[in-house]
Amino acid sequence: MNMSAMAALAPVIPVLTIKRLTDAVPLARALVRGGLPVLEITLRTGPALEALQAITGEVEGAVVGAGTVLTGAQFDQVKRAGARFAVSPGCMPSLALAASASGLPFLPGVQTVSEAMELAERGFNLLKFFPAGAAGGLAWLKAVAAPLPEVRFCPTGGVGADTASAYLALANVACVGGSWVAPAEAVAGQDWTRIERLAAAAARLKRP
Ligand code: 3PG
- Cis, bond preceding 131 (omega within 30 deg of 0): yes
**Region of residue 13 (phi > 0: left; psi between -120 and 50: alpha; otherwise: beta):** beta
Burial 105-116 (b: 16+ CB within 10 A, else e): bbbbbbbeeebb
pLDDT digits (tens, 9 = 90+) for 114-158: 999 999 999 999 999 999 999 999 999 999 999 999 999 999 999
pLDDT for 207 beyond 80? no
Q: Which residues contact 119 (CB under 8 A, 6 or more apart)?
A: 91, 96, 108, 110, 127
Distance 157 CA to ligand 1 centre (A): 4
- Please give the average per-residue pLDDT across 181-195, as a whole number: 98
Put the strands of the sheet holding 126-129 in their side by side order: 109-110, 126-129, 152-155
**Is the beta carbon of 90 within 6 A of some atom in ligand 1?**
no
d(CA 169, CA 188): 33
Residue 208: band (very low, low, confident or very high) from pLDDT cuts 50, 70, 90: low
d(CA 36, CA 145): 27
Which ligand 1 atom sits closest to the C-alpha of 132?
A: 5
Residue type at position 58: E
pLDDT digits (tens, 9 = 90+) for 29-59: 999 999 999 999 999 999 999 999 999 999 9
**Is the beta carbon of 158 within 6 A of some atom in ligand 1?**
yes
Domains of the chain: 3-203 (3.20.20.70)
pLDDT digits (tens, 9 = 90+) for 97-107: 999 999 999 99
Distance 179 CA to ligand 1 centre (A): 6
- From atom 11 of ligand 1, which residue's Cα is the shortest distance away? 178
Distance 60 CA to ligand 1 centre (A): 25
d(CA 17, CA 74): 17
Ligand 1 pocket test: pick from 156, 159, 180 the residue with the most ligand atoms within 8 Å of its Cβ: 156
Distance 175 CA to ligand 1 centre (A): 14
> Do the beta carbons of residue 18 and residue 48 sit within 8 Å?
yes
Please give the pLDDT value at position 39.
Answer: 98
